[in-house]
Every structure is written in C-alpha cells, then in structure tokens.
Amino acid sequence: MTKKLWQKDTELNKLVEQFTIGSDKEYDLLLAPYDVRASKAHAVMLEKCGLLNKADMKKLMPAFNAIARQIEQGKFKIDAGVEDVHSQIEIQLTAAAGEAGKKIHLGRSRNDQVLTALKLYLKAELKDISSRVQVLFDIFLDLSEKHKSIMLPGYTHFQIAMPSSFGLWLGAYAESLCDDMELVAAAYHICNKNPLGSAAGYGSSFPIDRELTTRLLGFESLNVNSVYAQMTRGKTEKAVAVALSAIAQTLGKFSYDVCLYMSQNFGFISFPDELTTGSSIMPHKKNPDIFELVRGKCNLIQAVPNQLTLLTSNLPSGYHRDMQLTKETIFPAIAQLKECLEIVSYTLPQMRVNKDILKDKRYAYLYSVEAVNGLVKKGMPFREAYRIIGKDIANGKFAPQGKMRHTHTGSIHNPGTEQIRKNFSIVFGKLN
C-alpha cells in the first residue's frame, strides 16, 4: 500500500484508515482541476519569492499541464492506497518532475490547499447554477407573457379567493428567482476570497506573496486573517447551501402548484403523456411524478443548511476532521439542484393551460371583492359595501359581473414583466 505523504514510520491501522477516508475520494475527484490550478498559482508565487528556481519551474509546469489534460479527458483517478486527490496530484507531480515536485508544498498546508480548491469549485458551481436559473427565469417570464390574458382562480387557505391569471402565477416564480439569485450572489462573494497561504491556520514563516496568488486565481480579495481563513471551512459551504435552499424552495413550491393544478379536481394545466407516468392497476392515471420528485428533492436540499449547522456549529476555531464531511453534504445537493433545474426547464415549456377555467359556476365568488369595490367606487363606505355583498352571497342573490381592470404595478393587468426582467439582470450581473 502506498505510504501517505504525512506518514512517518508507524504502520497504519487499516480499519482506522478506511474509516477516516470514507467516501472522500469519490467527491475529491470533483476538486481535481481546481487543485491543479491552485497548485500552479502557488508554484508561480514560490518562484517569485525565490523559493523555487527556474529549473524547478521548467519541470513542474509541463507536469501540471499533463495532469490537467488527464483530468479534462476523464482519465485521472486516485490510485489504491492514495489518501486523496491532493496526494495523488503531488505523487504524479513528483514522479514527473522529481525533486521539484517535493518542493510544491512549501508555504502551505493540506488545510488551505483543500479550502482553496473547494472555494474555486464552489465559485464555478454557483456560476453554473446561476446560468441554469437564468434559463428557467426566461422560460417563466416568456410563458407569463404568452398566457397573461388567461384567467386563473386565486386561492387562500385552499379556498376560492380572487381572480388571478397564468401570467401573474408564472411571473411570481420568475420574481422569486430574482431574490434567490441575491443569495447566490452573496454566497459567490463569500467564496470569492483567497485562503491560500493561511497554511494550517496560522500562516507561514516563508516570505510568501498571498496577494499574488489572489490575482492569479481570480479571487476578488483575501481571507486576510490566517485563523479566520480556516474558520471559513464549513461557513462557506453553509452560505452556498442557503443559496441552494432558496432556489429549491422556489422549485418545490412551484412543483406543488403543478401537482395540484394537474389533478382532475382542478384541471388547470396538463402535460403531454410522455412527461407523465401511469399506474400499475388504474389505466386512466397520468401522474406528475417529475414534479413530485422535484418537490421531494428540493425539500431535502432545504435541509442542507441545517445539516451543515449541526456538523460545524459545535467546533472551536482551527481545523477539525469533521470538516471533511461537508463535502458529503454540499456536493450531492449541488448535483441534485442542477438536475431539478434541468428537468423543470425541459418540461415547463410543454405545459398546456386551460383557457376556460373561470366559466365554471363554482368560481362565481371570485368576483365578490370586485362587487364590493364597485359599490365603494359609487361612494359607499367599504364596510357597508362588504356587508351588503356578504348578505347577497348568504341569501343566494350574488350575481358576479366578471368584469374588472387592475392598473397598479404587479397586478393582473399590469404584471410588471419588464421590471422583473431588469431586476434579474441586475442581480445576475453581481456574479461577474
């Protein structure tokens, strides 16, 4: 078995080794390209500071590039007996560059090495997620505009409330994504601070240049204090998890609406048969399994911030091996949210809407508020108008007019689509 980079002369207990590594190697593969990128920047900095020479760099850079190509081609793997991706890269680097490969760890620790790769990974994933959100946002607003004149019953307490429209319903979820993106942007800026050079959390006696690696890696700024740099492990993941959970809440709520509106008791919307599933015994069933699974997955994603809180909130400053488990929590959540965004973006444009919903007599009471407002416009006090219409309803005398015109921003006939689009564009720009 390969000797660990940190191992001395003591033989490792195999059960302890297996337990401490766990499933970390599986998730570590996602960090491989970012570890190479960070290590290259670290090497450039070491040369500038006189800690590596040109001969070292002449050997190191081709070796780094070869590993990067291997990763890009999907041929990179962590060998049996190698602890993690960082060890694998250093082992390959040393095999290719000789003694120069053994110098690469000057001025850093495994702690800031992992944290730097993790932050670069999270930045990239947040960018990817934001692009996927943008696709879904555009779909919501396009459909909102397309169906803006088709009326839809509004509900409160699961009771018929007031008239709404498909345009207003779909536009609401577009605007919800605007607020979600505010949290994505905030998480991105938290990730966008360089921890490299904080070493094990107490800095280095080598004269390293942390500002240089910050520029080379495209970070916005430094995590200045070395102790705090290490304290961001877990905190950074939680910030990302909060952003993921906000998007998941929007998708989950929309999915619930879809499941409800597809049911025969509502019949507001439908999807092509190939996007639904059937029953093993009931031939008439067209189940909304896609949206039920999105709802379930998004409910689980919303639990991730709490999982990270429970994992990290009882730890003092400094690094602890508990932090390894943040990958098992945040990495699958990222993958699942991307899957949910993809499937909703694929199915939503195929939604069919019922154009004649409000012709059904069961929705007559939707217009009770309009009737009250009609009396108020004629000079009657609101409370008196409310009492009169309420009495007509109780006596079975209410006759809805079905005519109305809303003019204020964000209402049925003035949904503010362009303002919502502008707001999204502003917050989306915060990630650049």
279 carries an active-site annotation = yes
Exposed/middle/buried for residue 352 (C-beta within 10 Å: 0-12, 13-18, 19+): exposed
Catalytic residue among 157, 205, 284, 408: 157
Q: Please, which residues have CB within 8 angstroms of residue 368's CB and are 6 or more apart in sequence?
A: 389, 393, 398, 400
**DSSP-derived secondary structure for 153-204:** EEEETTEEEEEEEHHHHHHHHHHHHHHHHHHHHHHHHHHSEE-TT-TTTT--
CB 107 within 8 A of CB 46: yes
User: Cα(394)–Cα(267) distance, rounded to whole angstroms?
Assistant: 28
Question: Which candidate in 131, 279, 313, 425 is catalytic?
Answer: 279
| Rounded Cα distance, 388 and 399, in Å | 13
Cα–Cα separations (whole angstroms), residue 93 to 31, 42, 98: 16, 14, 8
The β-bridge relationship of strands 159-165 and 151-156 is antiparallel
Q: Is 415 buried (19+), middle (13-18) or exposed (0-12) by CB count in 10 A? A: buried
- 271 — alpha (psi -120 to 50), left (phi > 0) or beta? beta
What is the H or E stretch that residue 253 is in?
helix 226-262
CA pair distance 60, 97, nearest whole angstrom = 6
- Which residues lie closer than 8 Å to 230 by C-beta, 6 or more apart? 111, 112, 115, 195, 198, 200, 201, 317, 318, 319
**Residue 413 bears catalytic tag:** no
List the Cα angle 79/81/86 in 5-degree steps: 65
Contact 297, 244 (CB under 8 A): no
200 exposed, middle or buried (CB, 10 Å; 0-12, 13-18, 19+)?
middle
Q: 102: Cβ–Cβ under 8 A, 6 or more apart, which residues?
A: 94
List, by residue number, the catalytic residues: 157, 279
